[in-house]
Structure 1
C-alpha cells in the first residue's frame, strides 16, 4: 500500500512539474502582413513593396529576435544588458530598452474576439491599435519587466504575458494587419539571440 501511494505521489509530482514546464511559450511564430485603406480596400501588394511582408519571430524566456522575408534582422532583444537592436538599411542600431519617454500605454479590453489558427483570442485596444491574444501562448512577464521600450513590459503586464497573435494598427490613411499564420513550440539555443552571432560580427 505504501509503495502504491508513493508511486501515485511521484507520478503526480512529475505531471505537475511537466505542466509547469509547459506553462510558458518558447519557440517560433510566423506572422504575415496585410494592408487596407480606411475604407477597406486591400492594398497589400502596393504596401508590401515599401513596408513589411512577413516576420519570423523567435522567443525564449527573456529574449526574442525577428527576421523579415529576406532573412534580414528586424529586431532583437537580449535580456542580458537589457538591450534592443534593430536594423535599418545596412546599419544596426542599439538602444537601451529601459528608456521609453512615453510611459505606459492606456490599454482597455474590448468585446472583439477572433479565432487565430486553433486559438480563441480576446482583444485589447489603445488609441492606434487592436491586439488579439490567447493565454495559451504566453511568456513570463517578469522576464521582460525591464523592457520599457515600446511599452513591451506594460503590454505583457496587461495581458499576463500573452503574446500578440494579431495586431491591427491604424495610420492616417490606411491600416496594417499582422497575423500569426504558424506557431511552433521548440527549444531554442541562446546563441539565437546573440547579436554578434546573428550578424556574424565581433
Structure 2
C-alpha cells in the first residue's frame, strides 16, 4: 500500500473511532420558561425550576444539577432504570420507573441543518406528543448509544435517542403549564468518576405517585 493511501486510511479510521465513542462529560444549559398559567409568571417558573442546569453523563447513567429554589437534582441509575428527583421541600428523593412512558408520541419528524449552537451544526428531531411538541437540536459529535437507554421510555428519552443517537444541544419542551427552552452554553469532554452517579449515602427514596 502506498504511503499516501495508508495516511488517508488512518485518518478515516480515526474519524470513525472518534464519532463512534459515546460522549462522556458535562454540558451546561441555560433554561428559560414561557408560562401558560396566568397565576404563574415566567420568572416564577425560572426561579423554582432553575435558570442553569449542569448535565453529567457516563455510559448509561446521567445526573442533572439545577440552581432552582425547588428543583435540586435528577439522577438516572441505569441498572435500576429509575430516575430520581430531589426537591428542596423534601428530604426524600422521589423516583420514577422509566419503563413507564407517561406520554404518547403521535408523530415524529427529522429536519437537517436547522441551526448552529456553540459551533455545532445541528439537526432537529420533533416528537409530536399528547403532552405537546418536544423539539431537540443535536450534533452527532455528542454521540450516545441508544441501546444503553432501551428501557428509558419515561419522557420519550429512548424514542428521541433512536432518531438522533446524540445528546441535545437545545430543547424546546411544551407542557400544559409552560414551554421550556434549554440551550447549551458549555460542552466539556472529560472522564467522570462513577461514584458521581450514586445516590447520596443514607438518603431515603420513595416512588412517585402519578395520577
Name the residue aligned to 2:184: 180
Indicate the RMSD between aligned Cα atoms, in angstroms.
3.2
| Alignment pair present for 1:141 and 2:142 | no
Compute the displacement of 1:152 (Å).
1.2
What TM-score results when the alignment is normalised by the length of structure 1?
0.77
CA contact (8 A) 2:51 2:67 kept: yes
Name the residue aligned to 1:29: 27
Instruction: Please give the alpha-carbon distance, in whole angstroms, between the structure 1 residues aligned to 2:95 and 2:107.
Output: 27
Segment of structure 1 superposing worse, 75-84 or 171-180 = 171-180
Instruction: Please give the alpha-carbon distance, in whole angstroms, between the structure 2 residues aligned to 1:192 and 1:52.
Output: 21
CA contact (8 A) 2:49 2:68 kept: no
Matches for 1:104-143 after TM superposition, within 5 Å: 104=105, 106-110=107-111, 113-127=114-128, 128-143=133-148
Instruction: Please give the alpha-carbon distance, in whole angstroms, between the structure 1 residues aligned to 2:177 and 2:123.
Output: 26
Within the candidate set 46, 49, 52, 2:47 is matched to 49
Structure 1 segments of 4 or more deviating over 6 A?
none
Q: Residue deviations 1:109-132, cap 9 Å, x none?
A: 236711110100011223323211
CA contact (8 A) 1:105 1:151 kept: no
What TM-score results when the alignment is normalised by the length of structure 2?
0.74
How many residue pairs were aligned?
188
Q: In proportion to residue count, which structure has more strand?
A: 2
Q: Residue deviations 1:53-95, cap 9 Å, x none?
A: 1111000111101111269742111111222211233231122
Name the residue aligned to 1:170: 174
Instruction: Please give the alpha-carbon distance, in whole angstroms, between the structure 1 residues aligned to 2:68 and 2:176.
Output: 28
CA contact (8 A) 1:36 1:174 kept: yes
Name the residue aligned to 1:82: 81
